[in-house]
Chain A
Amino acid sequence: MAVIDAPVAARTSREVNRQARTAWGLTTPALALMFLILLVPVVVAGVLSFTNYSLGNSSFDWVGFKNYDRLLSRSTYEKMFIATFTYVVVVVPVSVALGLGAALLVNSLGRIGDVYKTIYFLPVMATLLAMAIVWEFMLHPTIGVINQTLELSCGTFLEAIRFFGNGCADGFPLWLGDRDYAIWVLCFIGVWQGFGFNMVLYLAGLTGVHRELYHAAEMDGVKSAWERFRLVTWPALGPTTVFVVTISCIRAFQVFDTVEAFWPQGGGPNKSTYVMMFAIFEKGVQQNLIGIGSAITMLFLVFVMFLTLIQRWLVERKVHY
């Protein structure tokens, strides 16, 4: 037996080797592309974040953690973090909640639901840059629709409310030019633009809810819509929610075009809307400070990575769905 077995074993191991070589050969192009396109830029950015390189310079100096140190000590960057986190903390929950609410309402409608779906999805499809111009008109302090509408309230009972009272006396807010309001306007537009997308994701999630579960809930004595939502809809939407929240977070961290359109110079009144992406653009591209730009990019990547890890952990915890 052994006499026969030995060559067979040798042949199989040679066979396995050959297969493995072919497999690696076939994967190489994909691997090479992945390294070249995805990983190398990240590594390059990481390396550059420790230098004072500027595009066009023939050489650079290693500066160690100075770029990162600056990020954590300068007040400009403090404002950057405040603006970014305010935006994320406001836009993510509001756009997720609105998206869910809209999806539930649209889902409960029949034909007309499609009309609503299209309308809510319009801002997602429209370019934000084009829409920003419309918003800029509407938010104009004197000739904008919004302040003109607000002025209609002057002389009515609404003046009893402080906001309207002050507005009628001293003029309504400058909106985009007001450092107290600018970030909230930015948030509002972010929600307006983003919740349609979340709604579509939730609508897709809702089609996956087993219809018979609602009937089972009814037979089990569930009478209110709220209980039905808690017992059937919300748990079934768990995986969708994890995904929607992560996507919304990443999109919120990436907000840039609105800021660029409204405040091309310097990130809003008193840097109140100086969000990370804009900072990267300003430092790295406009001012050619590649080192600091790369440092912000690395920080941004860390946040996004962190979010993705949380998402994976949540999804894996719910594996028994």
Chain B
Amino acid sequence: MAGLSIRSITKRFGDTEVLRGVTLDVADAEFVSLVGPSGCGKSTLLRIIAGLEDPTSGEIEIGASIVTGTRAADRNLSMVFQSYALYPHLTVAENIAVPLRMRSLSAAQRLPFVGPFLPGAKEQRTEIASAVQNAAEMLEIGALLDRKPGQLSGGQRQRVALGRALVREPAAFLLDEPLSNLDAKLRVQTRAEIAQLHRRLNATFIYVTHDQVEAMTMSDRIAVMMGGEILQCDAPSVIYEDPNDIRVAEFIGSPKINILPVELGHSEMTLFGLVLARVAEASKAGVYHLGLRPEALKLTQAEPMITGTVAHLENLGSEVYAQVALADQTARVTLRATPAERHSLRLGAQVSMSFDLQDALIFDVDGTRQRRVEVALSNEREVA
């Protein structure tokens, strides 16, 4: 087990720059998720860490030694591939045993007919067999050990691929969208298994996914990647509640955060002409973005801040999401309501909403978070 550090990695394929100076430090035994939209370079970064691809520039350090020139087989990492990559001619047991056979048996001991009779081979082989058995039981594929990958379902193959990675104790585990092909139920189940495994093995994990629920539920920290850069790497709650960038705020959270344009004058902030707050300190005037999570919006009768008509309803049982088309505006906002409030939400119904300015995130036009403006706003409220 060891920590990892990735230092200003860039990667170019011809003219296209896929990674632009990615820097990330992963502590020993930490679980870090890499999330981001399709094509942002997650797999490429993972493959560079693994050593399957060379970076154009930058360095990778595993456990305190720089491994940039080291070949993948010598980096002592385990990887689960997006496509499983199981050996089709080997049984499940043989598949899981491959990394152990390759690393603990000598070339002579691996020979097909003579190998098993060489000195020391027998003990090694029984050791490998019991390690395989343990890994299989942990992943509940003990009954499948004699099957070939072609005879397994997608979820079972997934677990075999995990088993092959987890049978060893490498410096770190690299998982590339390991749950992407599972059905919803199996995905939740395997997600829990992986999280449990992480706690039990106390190992370093780098987990690539484009599913933010996976990232939110499993990780110690989430690194949000976009366009070949890491925008923010923080604990899941920080990423959700306190994003540094409007792209992070928009990517994390489902349904998406509501973004509304606000105008900051010399002494007040207005939303669609309505004065939201007064500002004492002269902040930079101009147009800003106001980010509001769906749960920050509340239905209200008195003193509404925004009004509109319900355009679409999604009832999830425990909660209701309503898309509200704002009056006189093209924008829509999403609102989360409790089932108790459902009666007032009917398609086409008029609703009035308000929110607490404290729950709002303010970004400038470039998308950077403006914490100073937020502080100025809340100071003003305290004074008032």
Q: Which residues of B in the span 98-124 have a Cβ within 8 Å of any Cβ on A?
A: 98-99, 102-103, 107, 110
**Interface of A (DSSP majority class):** helix
Q: Which residues of B in the span 190-225 have a Cβ within 8 Å of any Cβ on A?
A: none
Query: Which residues of the partner chain A approach B98 to less than 8 Å between Cβ atoms?
Result: 217, 220, 231
Between A and B, how many residue pairs show CB distances below 8 Å?
69
Q: Which residues of A in the span 47-99 have a Cβ within 8 Å of any Cβ on B?
A: none
Interface string of A213-253 (1 = CB under 8 A from B): 10111111111100100011001101000000000000000
> How far does the alpha carbon of A215 sit from the alpha carbon of B83 in the complex, in Å?
11
Residue of B nearest to A234 (CB): B89
Determine whether A320 belongs to the interface, using a CB cutoff of 8 Å to chain B: yes
Determine whether A11 belongs to the interface, using a CB cutoff of 8 Å to chain B: no
Query: Which residues of the partner chain A approach B235 to less than 8 Å between Cβ atoms?
Result: none
- Nearest Cβ in chain B — how far from A211, in angstroms? 9
- The reply to whether B73 and A222 contact each other, CB–CB distance below 8 Å, is yes
- Nearest Cβ in chain B — how far from A315, in angstroms? 14
- The reply to whether B151 and A320 contact each other, CB–CB distance below 8 Å, is yes
Determine whether B19 belongs to the interface, using a CB cutoff of 8 Å to chain A: no
> How far does the alpha carbon of A238 sit from the alpha carbon of B150 in the complex, in Å?
15
Determine whether B85 belongs to the interface, using a CB cutoff of 8 Å to chain A: yes
Query: Which residues of the partner chain B approach A232 to less than 8 Å between Cβ atoms?
Result: 87
- The reply to whether B102 and A235 contact each other, CB–CB distance below 8 Å, is no
> How far does the alpha carbon of A318 sit from the alpha carbon of B87 in the complex, in Å?
14
- The reply to whether A220 and B164 contact each other, CB–CB distance below 8 Å, is yes
> How far does the alpha carbon of A27 sit from the alpha carbon of B83 in the complex, in Å?
43
A238-B89, A321-B89 are known contacts. Are A220 and B102 too (CB-CB below 8 A)? yes
- Nearest Cβ in chain A — how far from B152, in angstroms? 10
> Among the listed stretches B74-82, B237-245, B266-274, which one makes contact with chain A, having 4 or more residues with CB under 8 Å of it?
B74-82
Determine whether A210 belongs to the interface, using a CB cutoff of 8 Å to chain B: yes
Determine whether B139 belongs to the interface, using a CB cutoff of 8 Å to chain A: no
Residue of A nearest to B167 (CB): A220
- Nearest Cβ in chain A — how far from B98, in angstroms? 5
Interface string of A185-221 (1 = CB under 8 A from B): 0000000000000000000000000101101111111
Q: Which residues of B in the span 152-169 have a Cβ within 8 Å of any Cβ on A?
A: 164
- The reply to whether B89 and A210 contact each other, CB–CB distance below 8 Å, is no
- The reply to whether A321 and B88 contact each other, CB–CB distance below 8 Å, is yes
- The reply to whether A219 and B78 contact each other, CB–CB distance below 8 Å, is yes
Where the two chains meet, the residues of A that have a C-beta atom closer than 8 Å to any C-beta of B are: 210, 212-213, 215-224, 227, 231-232, 235-236, 238, 318, 320-321
16 more A-B residue pairs beyond the given contacts A216-B85, A227-B110, with a C-beta to C-beta distance below 8 A: A210-B83, A212-B85, A213-B87, A215-B85, A218-B72, A218-B73, A219-B73, A219-B77, A220-B102, A221-B99, A222-B102, A223-B73, A227-B102, A232-B87, A235-B87, A235-B90
